[in-house]
Structure 1
Amino acid sequence: MSELKLLDFRKKSQNSDFTSLFEKLILNKEISDEEIQYLLKTAIFFLNFGDTYLQKLGYKILVVYSNRYNDYKPLYDFAINKGFIPISKFIESKNSTEKDSFFEMFFSAFHENFKEQSYYLSNGQKKLTEFSNSSDKNLVIIAPTSYGKSEIIIKKILDNLNKKICVIVPSKALLAQTKKRLLNQSISDYQIQRVITHPEMYKGTEESFISVLTQERLLRLLQKNEELSLDLILIDEAHNIFGDKKDDERAILLAQVVIILKKRNPNISLNFYSPFIADFNNLKINQIELELESENIDEFIKTEKYFICDLRNGKNQLELYDQFSNQFFNTNIEYEDIFDLLLNENSKKNIIYLNRPMHIEELSNDLMDKIEDTFEIDDIEETISDFIHPNYKLINCIKKGIVYHHGGMPEMIRLYVEDIFSKYNFISFIITSSTLLEGINIPAEKIFLLSIKKGKNTNLTNSQFKNLIGRVNRFSEIFNNETGDLRLLEPNIYILKNKYTASNANIKNFVSQRARIESQIEDNINNVLLKTVGDLNIEEKEILKNSLESLENIEPNTTDLENPYYVQSEIAKLCYKNNINDFDIKTSEKQLIENLNNYKRQLFSIINNSNDLIEAIASIFFNEIDLKDSNISRLVNPPARRFYSMLVEWRSRSASYKEMISSFLRYWETLRGEDLLIYVGTKWGVDKRSFTDRMPLYIDLRNKDIPERVNIAILRIKEEQDFIEFNLLKYIEVLSELELVDHTFFDKVKYGSGDRKTIILLKNGFSIELAKCINKEEYNSLISFNLELDEVNINPAIISTMEENFENKILIFELKYHISFS
Structure 2
Amino acid sequence: MTAANQIAQTIISDSYFLKLYRVCVERSVLRTLNIDTEEKYTEKEIRDLLRFADLLSTSSISDARNYAYKIITYLNPYYKDNVYYHTVAKAVYSNLGNFPAISYLEADNNNTSNLPFDRSVQNEAKKLIQEVPDGVGHVFTDIQYDLFSKLISSREFSFSGPTSMGKSFVIKAFLRCAIQNTPQENFIILVPSRALINQYAIELKSEMGALLETNNYKIVTNSNIAELPINEQCNYVLILTPERLISYISQEKNPSIGFLFVDEAHKLAQTEDARSITTYTSIEKTLKKYPDIKLYFASPNVSNPEILLSMFRNGKAENTFKTQETPVAQNLYFIDLLEKELSYCLNDEFIPINHPVLADISSINDVLLRFGQRSNLIYCNAKSKAISYAKELAATIECSDNKALKRAASIIRAYIHPDYYLADLVQKEIAYHFGNMPQLIRNLIEDLYRDGHLKYIFCTSTLLEGVNMPTQNLFILDDKKAKKILRPIDFWNLAGRAGRLAKELQGNVFCVKHGDVSWDKPSFFKEKDIQLVPTIYERIDHNLKKIEKIIQEQEISGTDIEQNILRYIANIICIDTLEPKNGYKSPIITALIERNKTKIIELAKSKSAQNETPYLILSANESIELKTQNSAYKQLKYLHAQKRNILLPAQINYPNILETLTKLYKLYSWNDKYLGKENSLKYFAMLMNKWINNSSLNQIISESIDYFHDHNRKLRINNGDLVDFDKNDKTHINALIGNIIDEIEIVLRFQLEKYFNHYHMMVKNILGEDNAGENWAMLLEYGTQNREIIALQNMGLSRYSAQKIFKECRGAFISENGQLKKVDKHKVLSKLQKDSIEYIEAQKLL
Q: TM-score if structure 2 supplies the norm length?
A: 0.80
Q: Return 429-438 or 403-412, whichever deviates more.
A: 403-412
Q: Which residue of 1 aligns with 2:833?
A: 803
Q: Which residue of 2 aligns with 1:142?
A: 160
Q: How does 1:470-489 map to 2 (within 5 A)?
A: 470-475=496-501, 479=502, 484=503, 488-489=504-505
Residue 80 in 1 paired to residue 94 in 2? yes
Structure 2 CA distance for aligned equivalents of residues 463 and 705 of structure 1 = 44
- Structure 2 residue aligned with 1:380, among 392, 395, 408? 408
SS in 1 for 2:730: helix
Q: Which residue of 2 aligns with 1:505?
A: 519
Shift of the 9–169 alpha-carbon distance from structure 1 to 2, 3 Å rule, reads same
Residue 646 in 1 paired to residue 686 in 2? yes
Is this contact kept in 2: 1:183–1:193, CA < 8 A?
A: no
Q: Which residue of 1 aligns with 2:286?
A: 261
Q: CA deviation at 1:436?
A: 1.3
Structure 1 CA distance for aligned equivalents of residues 399 and 842 of structure 2 = 33
Residue 710 in 1 paired to residue 726 in 2? no
Q: How does 1:516-595 map to 2 (within 5 A)?
A: 516=526, 519-528=527-536, 530=537, 537-540=544-547, 543=566, 544-551=569-576, 557=582, 558-559=584-585, 561=589, 564=605, 565=608, 569=612, 576=618, 579=621, 581-582=623-624, 584-586=625-627, 589-590=630-631, 593-594=634-635
Is this contact kept in 2: 1:307–1:319, CA < 8 A?
A: yes
Q: CA deviation at 1:79?
A: 2.6
SS in 1 for 2:809: helix
Give the letter for the 1:412 counterpart. Answer: L
Give the letter for the 1:664 counterpart. Answer: S
Structure 1 CA distance for aligned equivalents of residues 805 and 442 of structure 2 = 22
Q: Which residue of 2 aligns with 1:692?
A: none
Aligned pair count reads 764
Structure 2 CA distance for aligned equivalents of residues 191 and 443 of structure 1 = 31
Structure 2 CA distance for aligned equivalents of residues 258 and 751 of structure 1 = 24
Structure 2 CA distance for aligned equivalents of residues 90 and 359 of structure 1 = 36
Give the letter for the 1:710 counterpart. Answer: I
Structure 2 CA distance for aligned equivalents of residues 19 and 750 of structure 1 = 55
Q: Which residue of 1 aligns with 2:507?
A: 491
Give the letter for the 2:221 counterpart. Answer: T
Q: CA deviation at 1:336?
A: 2.8
Q: How does 1:304-319 map to 2 (within 5 A)?
A: 304-311=330-337, 313=338, 315-319=339-343
Q: How does 1:151-166 map to 2 (within 5 A)?
A: 151-161=169-179, 162-166=184-188
Q: CA deviation at 1:192?
A: 6.0
Q: CA deviation at 1:401?
A: 0.7
Q: CA deviation at 1:451?
A: 1.1
Q: CA deviation at 1:82?
A: 3.6
Shift of the 2–106 alpha-carbon distance from structure 1 to 2, 3 Å rule, reads closer
- Structure 1 residue aligned with 2:814, among 774, 784, 790? 784
Superposed CA deviations along residues 566-607 of structure 1, whole A, max 9, x for unmatched, are: 77545x76863662635x223663476348757978879963
Structure 1 CA distance for aligned equivalents of residues 819 and 12 of structure 2 = 66
Is this contact kept in 2: 1:757–1:787, CA < 8 A?
A: no
- Structure 2 residue aligned with 1:61, among 71, 89, 94? 71
Q: CA deviation at 1:799?
A: 1.9
Structure 2 CA distance for aligned equivalents of residues 219 and 817 of structure 1 = 28
Is this contact kept in 2: 1:351–1:431, CA < 8 A?
A: yes
Shift of the 724–658 alpha-carbon distance from structure 1 to 2, 3 Å rule, reads same
Q: Which residue of 1 aligns with 2:152?
A: 133
Q: Which residue of 1 aligns with 2:803?
A: 772
SS in 1 for 2:815: strand
Structure 1 CA distance for aligned equivalents of residues 753 and 460 of structure 2 = 27
SS in 2 for 1:187: helix
Q: CA deviation at 1:712?
A: 2.0
Q: Which residue of 2 aligns with 1:721?
A: 744
Shift of the 645–2 alpha-carbon distance from structure 1 to 2, 3 Å rule, reads closer
Q: CA deviation at 1:167?
A: 0.9
Q: CA deviation at 1:442?
A: 2.6
Shift of the 605–782 alpha-carbon distance from structure 1 to 2, 3 Å rule, reads closer
Q: How does 1:359-508 map to 2 (within 5 A)?
A: 359-376=385-402, 377-423=405-451, 425-456=452-483, 458-475=484-501, 479=502, 484=503, 488-501=504-517, 504-506=518-520
Superposed CA deviations along residues 714-756 of structure 1, whole A, max 9, x for unmatched, are: 2111111121110012323344452799749887666544444
Is this contact kept in 1: 2:476–2:511, CA < 8 A?
A: yes
Q: Return 172-181 or 785-794, whichever deviates more.
A: 785-794
Is this contact kept in 2: 1:453–1:460, CA < 8 A?
A: yes
Q: CA deviation at 1:408?
A: 4.1
- Structure 2 residue aligned with 1:112, among 122, 127, 147? 127
Q: Return 411-420 or 325-334, whichever deviates more.
A: 325-334
Shift of the 349–57 alpha-carbon distance from structure 1 to 2, 3 Å rule, reads same
Q: CA deviation at 1:403?
A: 1.2
Q: Return 47-56 or 747-756, whichever deviates more.
A: 47-56
SS in 1 for 2:424: helix
Give the letter for the 1:280 counterpart. Answer: P
Residue 663 in 1 paired to residue 703 in 2? yes
Q: CA deviation at 1:122?
A: 1.5
Structure 2 CA distance for aligned equivalents of residues 589 and 408 of structure 1 = 32
User: Percent identity at matched positions?
Assistant: 20
- Structure 1 residue aligned with 2:673, among 623, 630, 633? 630
Residue 179 in 1 paired to residue 201 in 2? yes
Shift of the 658–208 alpha-carbon distance from structure 1 to 2, 3 Å rule, reads closer
Is this contact kept in 2: 1:66–1:74, CA < 8 A?
A: no
Q: CA deviation at 1:54?
A: 6.3
Q: Return 744-753 or 208-217, whichever deviates more.
A: 744-753
Shift of the 601–714 alpha-carbon distance from structure 1 to 2, 3 Å rule, reads farther
Q: CA deviation at 1:339?
A: 1.0
Is this contact kept in 2: 1:617–1:732, CA < 8 A?
A: no
SS in 1 for 2:519: coil
Shift of the 786–104 alpha-carbon distance from structure 1 to 2, 3 Å rule, reads farther
SS in 2 for 1:785: strand
Q: Return 661-670 or 349-358, whichever deviates more.
A: 661-670
Q: Return 352-361 or 549-558, whichever deviates more.
A: 549-558
SS in 1 for 2:357: strand
Q: TM-score if structure 1 supplies the norm length?
A: 0.83
Q: CA deviation at 1:397?
A: 0.3
SS in 1 for 2:441: helix
SS in 1 for 2:144: helix
SS in 2 for 1:211: strand
Q: CA deviation at 1:194?
A: 1.9
